[in-house]
Amino acid sequence: MALRIIFMGTPDFSVATLEALAAAGHEIVAAYTQPPRPGGRRGLDLQKSPVHLAAERLGIPVLHPLNFREAEDLDRFRAFGADVAVVVAYGLLLPEAILSGTRLGAYNGHASLLPRWRGAAPIQRAIMAGDAETGMMVMKMDKGLDTGPVALTRKVAIEPNMTAGELHDRLREIGAEAMVDAMARLEAGTLETVPQPVDGVLYAAKIDKAETRIDFSRSSVEVHNHIRGLSPFPGAWFELEVNGKAERVKVLGSELCEGAGSAGEVLDSALAIACCSGAVRLTRLQKAGGKPLDAADFLRGTPVSPGTVLA
């Protein structure tokens, strides 16, 4: 028999799991997601979340409470009579009444190798820290922040030039497969969980705008990890003087290269930039209001001479 599932998620990352569970034959009785937010070119139109749109395509009822403080919201959740809640990047901390509001509890798909990188930005933080691998874990949720026992793990190597966007897409698909596997085992009564280790806990704090500016006085490895960990969003950046005016330029791709000079110094005509040790080559850039360009195309429209110092 298929499980009756309440799905809880918001961004594009969550959609693959929702679609995979539906394709596996489970009955998705409701989809909970964040409320529509202002968006569009002028920020005036209310935009439904990717999960909201996907649920509508699948004919699944959609709910988007601001929180679960109202008794009415808790009663509605329980009234679905679900076997289990599946949570993937929902964006709300869930009270115990929700975690225990289904027959079998709530299971979360989390994009790290717990207990490393609990919290909001595990994909970005893993790359920024230079981790060689990460993964998806299916965890039975408890009242803590990503502290519950782990049911399934799927590991993924982080390649040297992989960006957060590329890793996001890889984990999105692996996470969907892992959750389908976990729900099949849960339905069969064979899903087992193991408590997380007490050692190795790290928190993946939400990315702050203040930390997005590139600091070329760091090592080339640190700068490279910083760039790819923030690509494509929110994007690491530097300022470049264009026609006498400082313009912000996002860097969406980079690679390590040979070279030495003062921190931030442009070393050649192909955007090799000196760091405090070593150098990075900027391979993909985007000016404010412009579209992403490979370095050669960027330089055709915005020449950057060797000897220029980026700040």
Annotated binding site for (6S)-5,6,7,8-tetrahydrofolate: 112-115
Token readout for 141 is 């949720």
Contacts of residue 229, Cβ cutoff 8 Å, sequence gap at least 6: 124, 125, 126, 127, 128, 163, 164, 236
CA distance 237 to 221: 16
DSSP state of 209: G
Tokens standing for 238?
């530097």
Spell out the residues 6+ positions from residue 106 whose beta carbon is closer than 8 angstroms to its own.
Answer: 8, 84, 85, 86, 87, 94, 98, 99, 140, 141
User: Using CA of residue 16, residue 21, residue 27, residue 30, what is the dihedral sign?
Assistant: negative
How many beta carbons lie within 10 A of that of residue 72, not counting itself?
A: 9
List residues forming the annotated binding site.
112-115
Record the tokens describing residue 172, joined without a space: 């999105």
Give the burial class of 299: count Cβ atoms within 10 A of its Cβ; 0-12 exposed, 13-18 middle, 19 or more buried: middle
Other Cβ atoms less than 10 A from the Cβ of 63: the count is 17
Q: Is 147 left (phi over 0), alpha (psi -120 to 50) or beta?
A: alpha
Overall residue count recorded for the chain in this entry: 311
Kindly list the distances between the CA atom of residue 21 and the CA atoms of 64, 140, 149, 179, in Å, as whole numbers in the listed order.
Answer: 20, 17, 22, 8
